[in-house]
Structure 1
Amino acid sequence: MQHKTIPGANGLVAFASKVGWLIFGTIGVNSKAEEQVLTATIDAQKPMMDFKEFWSLEHMGITLQEKAEPAFLEAYQETIQRAEDGRYMGLFPIKIGHRRIESNRNIAMILLQGLLGKTQLEDKLKYHEILQQCIRDGFIEEADLEFTGNCTYLPHRPVIKVGAETTKIRPVFDGSAHMKDRPSINDALEIGPNLSPEVLAVLLRLRQNRIAWTADITQAFLQVEIRPEHGQLIRFIWIDDPRKAQPD
């Protein structure tokens, strides 16, 4: 704080701080001043618990969802493996006792037809190239048409970010889509613990030292590989030639 104050009328004091001028003091409820300022009223009689709730994560739009059973998490961790290239491999955390996975292929096909009909050819060509690059990178592969086990089809669409410096178009898959009275794939999966760091804690740690380092992992979520046991579980539909108006 800078040591500079200017007393004002009605008991108000202007204080010069590093973030600018701050005004402290009290204003009577019956004040008829023409100038209006932003004020905060604090009731000192309320318990400190109210302040703890004010700084809780829920007030920042973050809700903890640690709903998975500890026994399930321990068992699931045992299924995590490492591939030869160093990437982690895991299974989809299907809920214990969940009934058969629904195909939902019909809704995926209906939404794909709508996507092809309303998307401009230029964007379809770019989206097609993004999917082809995912194949070359080993993130997706052609489905086994002779597979007879459980599988579900996800609707997808391109999300276009004009101002993005790197990936301007990326695919987004809808795991909540489902046919009427049928569960989605999200309904079949455990939610698991909230692994997102607390925003307030991150900001406080950022200010502990003079120099802060930041880093980003390219396509971080795609670096986790699905084990062969669940390799055919999640599918999506696309076309060989994006110039076609509708899939064959």
Structure 2
Amino acid sequence: MAQEVVINNEKKVSFLVVPTQVKKVVNPQQIKNMFELDFNDRQTDDVPISYEDKLFMTKMKEGVYKPEEHYEMPLPLKNENVRFENKKDLAVYRLDRLKRKLKNDKKYYQDYVKSVQDMITHGYAEAVPAKELARADGFVWYVPHHGVYHPEKPGKLRVVFDCSASYKKQSLNSHVLQGPDLTNSLIGVLCRFRQEQVAFVCDISAMYHQVDVSPEHKDLLRFLWWKNGDLDKEVIEYRMTVHLFGATSSPSVAIFTLMKTADDNELEFGSDAAKSVKNDFYVDDGLKSVAYLLQLKLSN
């Protein structure tokens, strides 16, 4: 809206006036709460937790087991009595499509074979024992898979399991609980990272693969692959022994296990170490800063 102003009865100056309207008045306390929210990573006391999230946490606390080096965690099924169609039609169809792509792209094929072989070598996947191949109790599921290159790491291919793949209106993801968001606030982690003079970073290698799947749920994570990665050889049934990259429940399962690790080892490694594991990780990336004097003391 234009507005004219007369100066000394001679000169007219035009101004452009933009009407404004305040929709909401924010008081200082609201601003204070907003900033504090960024540094309070888990406000579980203030935020109502859903029934499904409560069920997830109950299943994790009751199902966690540590026989040796790694924790075993169950798949957080919504219904333990669910029965799956023991069919691998979809997995076979997707494998045939994958085979065509592998044959047409030599580098993709080589990287894919290496990735699958690494999973088998590290024990993240295993061939299904012959005596269990014919399991027919409705507790078997075949997960299709495909390869994805890391956008910031050229040449590094990750095998992603398509847990959302649907067969007769069923998918693995539709039967598992997602779980609550247990991830630390990124802003909180970064700000704590800048508090002290000496900083260091670390990460958890293959974070999801560090959490084993409970034995009774392994057959829900079957997949098809060629013997020794040779496309001309027979197709073998494998199954994952760890939680999948692609399952909707895996992020919450992995972070729950990380927090469990901190709690269980606090007496041995100290409260500072446990607190750092709980507060200074954003998913699998650890960012920590310490005072110079502490660093000097450690170096001596």
Whole-angstrom CA distance in 2 between matches of 1:72 and 1:134: 27
Deviation string for 1:170-221 (max 9, x for gaps)? Answer: 10111111025x1211110011111111122122222222222211111111
The answer for unaligned runs of 5 or more in structure 2 is 1-13, 39-46, 236-300
Structure 2 residue 96 is the aligned partner of structure 1 residue 108: no
Structure with the largest fraction of helix: 2
Alpha carbons 2:227, 2:233 under 8 Å: kept: no
What is the DSSP-based 3-state SS (H/G/I as helix, E as strand, rest coil) of the residue aligned with 2:107? helix
Structure 2 residue 207 is the aligned partner of structure 1 residue 220: yes
Please point out which of 115, 118, 135 is paired with 1:147: 135
TM-score by length of 1: 0.68
The 1:227/1:191 distance shift into structure 2, 3 A limit, reads same
What is the DSSP-based 3-state SS (H/G/I as helix, E as strand, rest coil) of the residue aligned with 2:158? strand
TM-score by length of 2: 0.58
Deviation string for 1:62-103 (max 9, x for gaps)? Answer: xx996424255224312100122x210011111136631344
Aligned to 1:123: 108
The amino acid of 1:169's aligned partner reads L
Aligned to 2:153: 164
The 1:118/1:51 distance shift into structure 2, 3 A limit, reads farther
Please point out which of 64, 69, 86 is paired with 1:80: 64
Deviation string for 1:90-139 (max 9, x for gaps)? Answer: 11111136631344622222111111112313321321122112111110
Aligned residues with identical type, % of pairs: 27
Deviation string for 1:118-174 (max 9, x for gaps)? Answer: 231332132112211211111000123133331111111111237517x71110111
The answer for unaligned runs of 5 or more in structure 1 is 1-27, 32-40, 58-63
Whole-angstrom CA distance in 2 between matches of 1:128 and 1:73: 36
Aligned to 1:176: 164
Equivalent pairs counted in the alignment come to: 204
The 1:241/1:225 distance shift into structure 2, 3 A limit, reads closer
Please point out which of 109, 122, 136 is paired with 1:137: 122
Whole-angstrom CA distance in 2 between matches of 1:214 and 1:87: 23
Whole-angstrom CA distance in 2 between matches of 1:137 and 1:241: 15
